[in-house]
């Protein structure tokens, strides 16, 4: 965390930047986390304040319909009233990440299911050597493996959701669901693209779009490797982050 906050009378001065912020150039308020002498603090920062800018990130292969920005804060002055009063330390931002990750576990399932449905329909209509592609053993194995992976991911997300409703879900359980379901969905998308052959890279089909978007999803809100280490830490009680 390179963004800092320092007191100046009754105000705070924010300096720093953060990449890859969704809707950063169109939002009216940014939630900013910064390091202060007292520890991590959170602020609700109006984006029209002097010193605040949000240049948009261009030339993306993934999530092209999403506005992605960099937040830049240069001596941005905010009053004490804009500090989030109960957000102290890393707990508050990490709670936000945990909530987002549980949603991602569900969203990845939607992308996987969309790819699977398209590949299944395509394989029934595509005629290869006189019969539908779906009638070949390799195609059926791929479909069976993908259907199994999606179903297991659905059961994991459902169980996590019920634990969350009961107030018993843990961050490590969320990490497991995000890690598993996004990885599974990306594998499904790649397999479906393969089943569609050259049509898999055509804009007439949605598999390629989902595949590229999932390349971002497996990175944001904690990479696959970071969630792997989080689970390893939980299982062994031995941190291996460095």
Q: Looking at the domain assignment, is residue 227 inside a domain?
A: yes
68 in the same domain as 28: yes
111 in the same domain as 171: yes
Q: What is the mean pLDDT of residues 98-117?
A: 96
pLDDT at 180 over 90: yes
Classify residue 221 as left (phi > 0), alpha (psi -120 to 50) or beta: left
108 in the same domain as 84: no
199 in the same domain as 175: yes
Q: Specify whether the CB–CB gap between 214 and 189 falls below 8 A.
A: yes
DSSP H stretches of helix in the chain: 91-125, 137-165, 171-195, 207-217, 224-236
- Specify the number of domains making up the chain: 2
101 in the same domain as 84: no
Q: Looking at the domain assignment, is residue 157 inside a domain?
A: yes
137 in the same domain as 178: yes
In angstroms, the CA 38 to CA 201 distance is 52
pLDDT at 172 over 90: yes
pLDDT tier at 26, thresholds 50, 70, 90: very high
199 in the same domain as 103: yes
Which pLDDT tens digit goes with each residue over 73-93? 999 999 999 999 988 888 888
209 in the same domain as 129: yes
In angstroms, the CA 149 to CA 163 distance is 21
CATH of the domain at 37: 2.40.110.10
135 in the same domain as 67: no
CATH of the domain at 231: 1.20.140.10
Instruction: Read off the DSSP letter of residue 217.
Output: H
Range of the domain at 204: 91-236
List, by residue number, the catalytic residues. Answer: 221
pLDDT at 119 over 90: yes
Of 65, 88, 111, the last residue of a domain is: 88
Query: What is this structure's pTM?
Result: 0.90
- Short-list 8, 13, 10, CA closest to 34: 13
Q: Looking at the domain assignment, is residue 242 inside a domain?
A: no
Looking at the chain, the whole-number percentage of residues with pLDDT higher than 70 is: 100
């Amino acid at each position: 965390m390179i963004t800092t906050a320092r007191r100046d009378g009754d105000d705070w001065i924010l300096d720093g930047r953060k990449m890859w912020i969704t809707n950063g150039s169109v939002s009216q308020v940014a939630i900013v986390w910064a390091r202060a002498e007292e520890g991590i603090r959170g602020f609700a920062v109006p984006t029209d304040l002097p010193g605040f800018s949000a240049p948009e990130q261009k030339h993306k292969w993934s999530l092209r319909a999403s506005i992605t920005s960099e937040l830049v804060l240069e001596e941005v002055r905010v009053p004490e009233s804009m500090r989030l009063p109960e957000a102290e330390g890393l707990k508050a931002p990490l709670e936000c990440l945990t909530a987002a990750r549980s949603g991602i576990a569900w969203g990845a399932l939607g992308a996987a299911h969309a790819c699977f449905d398209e590949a299944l329909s395509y394989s029934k209509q595509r005629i290869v050597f006189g019969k539908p592609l779906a009638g070949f053993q390799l195609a059926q194995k791929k479909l069976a493996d993908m259907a199994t992976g999606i179903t297991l991911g659905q059961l994991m997300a459902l169980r996590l959701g019920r634990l969350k409703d009961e107030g018993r879900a843990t961050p490590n359980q969320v990490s497991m669901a995000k890690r598993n379901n996004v990885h599974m969905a990306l594998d499904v998308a790649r397999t479906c693209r393969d089943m569609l052959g050259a049509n898999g890279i055509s804009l007439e089909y949605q598999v390629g779009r989902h595949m590229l978007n999932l390349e971002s999803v497996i990175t944001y809100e904690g990479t696959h490797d970071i969630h792997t280490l989080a689970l390893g830490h939980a299982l062994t009680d031995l941190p291996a982050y460095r």
